[in-house]
Amino acid sequence: MAQIGALGDKIYRSVLLIAASSILLIVFAIFYMMIQNSMPTIQRFGIGFLFASEWNPSQQMYGALPFIYGTVVSSLIAILIAVPVSLGIAIFLVEQAPAKVARPIAFMVELLAAIPSVVYGLWGIFVLAPFIRNHLGPVLQDYLGFLPLFQGRLTGIGMLTGGIILAIMITPIITAVVRDVLDAVPTTQREAALALGATKWETTMVVLGNAASGIAGAVVLGLGRAVGETMAVTMVIGNSPQISASLFEPAYTIASVLAANFADATEELYLSALIEMGLVLFLVTLVINALAKLLIMSVANKTNAAKHV
């Protein structure tokens, strides 16, 4: 009987171990397959691939710079908008709103994360882009038109639209992590500040100080999502491999060039160039996610916050 039990334990444990190890295997296999399939361009262009700005598949010119530029700038726009808003929401939910108000609002913000990317893209094309073309864009040009950022033709499709849609999409995840990080700050810190005659807002600043590294983790996590977000951006950013100072001009991101061109890439070098960009994206998101996880764990190891990473 004891032996049957021991054997059963062994089998059970082995099956589970294989399942758990499959996760490691998947990540390793992704890494391997992508390196292998991007060998043609790695060998031909070397590191220069990342810094070349010409992209013309018909002439076998493959430079990743416009896509890296587009990815970085659209993600920065998203972060600049989403971080303050997410902090505001999280502070409102944790520090200010009574539970009756906080609960439904928190649920609605979570629902925002459940809407598929392609739906944001659809909405972006038909609602956000016209709004930017007809309302936001002209206002920005009237008041800030002297900046190169806001010059050029206004089609509604371009870098700014991509950044704004990304901002909406990463707000729920940043909010969720910041909420959990704030929740993890001991009540005694709030009481200490209140007892010294701090106002509610001053108390909140003390709480934010306690949560600083967790908030940094939330921001990095949001950045990781923005960098990898694909469909919505592909649908509104204009898909043009150029580096322009104007945020109204069309641009391209790594993820969107993959989405838009991968199915047509029949030629070996073209396919390799795309896969190499995918590899870059993969490595960048791995590093960003690992960093975010470390930052969040440092404040909230035993709390909910770690689960979002």
Partner 1 sequence: MERTMSTHNTRRRVVNAFMTALTAACAISVTLILLIILAYIAYQGVTSISIEFLIDTPKPVGEGGGIGNAIVGSAMMTLLAALIGLPIGIAAGVYLAEFGKNWYGNIVRFVADTLIGVPSIIIGIFIYTLIVIPMGRQSGLAGGIALAIIMIPIVARTTEEMILLVPNSMREGALALGAPQWRVSWNIVLPAAASGIATGAMLAIARITGETAPLLFTALNSRFYNFFYDQPMSSLTVQIYNYATGPFAVEHAMAWAATLLLVGLILVINIIVRFLTRKKH
Partner 2 sequence: MESKISITNLDFYYGKEQALFDITLEIPPREVVAFIGPSGCGKSTFLRTLNRMNDTIPIARVTGTVLIDGENIYRPGMDVVALRRKVGMVFQKSNPFPKSIFENVAYGIRINGLHSGKSDLDARVEKALRDAALWDEVKDRLSTSAFGLSGGQQQRLCIARALAVQPDVILMDEPASALDPIATQKIEELVVGLKQDYTIVIVTHNMQQAARVSDRTAFFMLGKLVEYNPTQKMFTNPDEKLTEDYITGRFG
Return the residues of window 215-244 that contact partner 2 according to CB under 8 A: none
Nearer to partner 2 (CB atom), residue 87 or residue 193: 193
**Distance between CA atoms of residues 20 and 36, nearest Å:** 25
Sign of CA dihedral 137, 161, 246, 221: positive
* Interaction between residue 298 and partner 1 (CB under 8 A): no
190 near partner 2, rule: CB under 8 A: yes
Binding mask 158-197 for partner 1 (x = CB under 8 A): ----------x--x---x----------------------
The entry of partner 2, partner 1, none that residue 275 binds, CB within 5 to 8 Å by partner kind:
partner 1
Cα separation, 111 vs 119, whole angstroms = 13
CB of 182 to partner 2, least distance (A): 14
Q: Is 98 in the site for partner 2 (CB under 8 A)?
A: yes
Rounded to whole angstroms, how far apart are CA atoms 122 and 104? 26
> Is residue 266 part of the contact set for partner 2 (CB under 8 A)?
no
**DSSP three-state, residue 251:** strand
Q: Which residues pair with 56 in a beta bridge?
A: 61
15 binds, among partner 1, partner 2, none (CB under 5 to 8 A by kind): partner 1
Q: Does residue 24 touch partner 1 according to CB under 8 A?
A: yes
Query: Is residue 192 a contact residue for partner 2 (CB under 8 A)?
Result: yes
From the list partner 2, partner 1, none, partner contacted by residue 206 (C-beta under 5 to 8 A by kind): partner 2
> Given the rule CB under 8 A, which residues bind partner 2?
98-99, 186, 188-199, 202, 206, 209-210
